[in-house]
Structure 1
Amino acid sequence: MRVNDALFGIALLALAIFVWLHAAGFPKVAGTAYGPAFFPQVLALGLAASAALLIWRGMKQATGGRFLQLETWAREPGRWFGLLLMLSCLVVYALLDEILGFHITGFAITTVFMIYLGVRPWLALVCSLGTVIVIWLLFARLLLVPLPGGVLTPYLW
């Protein structure tokens, strides 16, 4: 599937505007030259510049007014199932992460993806367990990013 760059540019421009406006509402810090909105707004300017380049390039490449062209692989139903599986797992993670916790939710989603991709079930279980443990150690212990414990909260050190 070939999507014109102008469409991605428009989406990126919308994101840049959203980030700029959201950051503009951050509280000002007295006595400082740069407030908490400075860095996000600089990033928003970079996103807007990238969006302008994508829109310009997309308009230059547009032939015959076609902004979306499906390739042969995009016509196979199995490819779309993988996309729907990924999106549904994101929704499930967002809904169950606080309840079940990062460990259980991450383990289940990683296992489902590995089995879908053809990994043997026992190997998928082992690799998923190792992946979740390593990610938890890196984020929760090394970077001190709190990940939801869910039902395992009493057992986490």
Structure 2
Amino acid sequence: MKLGDLPLGLLAGLFGLAVVLEAMSFPEMGGMAYGPEFFPIIVGAGFCLCGLVLIAGDLRRRLTGKREALVSVEPSLKQGKALLRAAAVLVTVIAFVLLVKPLGFLLTLALLLFFLLRCLAAGWGISLALALGLPFALHFCFTSLLRVPLPRGFVETLLF
């Protein structure tokens, strides 16, 4: 399925506006020029700007007579494999949300990444290498460099 620029721009703009409004409700940090709302507001404003660019481009094309369908289905999505791959991405995201707390970040990401890569027709070697290496690299980046706590499962309890 392909969204035209007009609905995609509206979605991006609304999402950006929601991010900005939510970020403005974050508590202020005493003694700091900027607080936890600073980066989300920049990201939200970027989404709003991208949405405006998409809407303006669509309106400009409509004024010149080049109409684009608001929603269209790609011919390749009518094939079984493409639908299964799209469903695998959706299932993986939902499974990650449901499994990350009980299993922990490392195990959940490793299992789901391997599953997704195999569904997307990656080879066994690259799937296994990425599924074993990427979770540890991301864990290091989030916990050590960014100081973001990640859900701990039994694997993290044994390792760290």
Normalised by the length of structure 2, the TM-score is 0.79
> What is residue 137 of structure 2 aligned with on the other side?
134
Kept in 2, the 8 Å contact 1:107–1:128? The answer is: yes
Deviation, 1:54, is 0.8
Report which stretch shifted further, 44-53 or 16-25: 44-53
- 1:21 is aligned with what amino acid? L
Q: CA deviation digits over 1:92-118, x for unaligned, max 9?
A: 111110110111111111111222233
Report which stretch shifted further, 65-74 or 100-109: 65-74
**Distance in 2 between the 1:61 and 1:112 partners?**
41
> What is residue 147 of structure 2 aligned with on the other side?
144
Identity of aligned pairs, percent? 25
**Distance in 1 between the 2:129 and 2:148 partners?**
24
Deviation, 1:36, is 4.5
Root-mean-square deviation over aligned CA pairs? 2.7
Normalised by the length of structure 1, the TM-score is 0.80
SS of equivalent residue, structure 2 residue 7: helix
- 1:4 is aligned with what amino acid? G
Where does structure 2 lack aligned partners over 5 or more consecutive residues? none
Q: How does 1:47-86 map to 2 (within 5 A)?
A: 47-62=47-62, 63-64=66-67, 66-86=69-89
> What is residue 108 of structure 2 aligned with on the other side?
105
Corresponding position: 1:44 with 2:44: yes
Corresponding position: 1:115 with 2:118: yes
> What is residue 91 of structure 2 aligned with on the other side?
88
Going from structure 1 to structure 2, the CA distance change for 1:29 and 1:135 (only over 3 Å counts) comes to closer
Deviation, 1:123, is 5.9
Q: How does 1:16-55 map to 2 (within 5 A)?
A: 16-28=16-28, 34=34, 36-55=36-55
Kept in 2, the 8 Å contact 1:93–1:105? The answer is: yes
Count of paired positions: 157
Deviation, 1:130, is 2.3
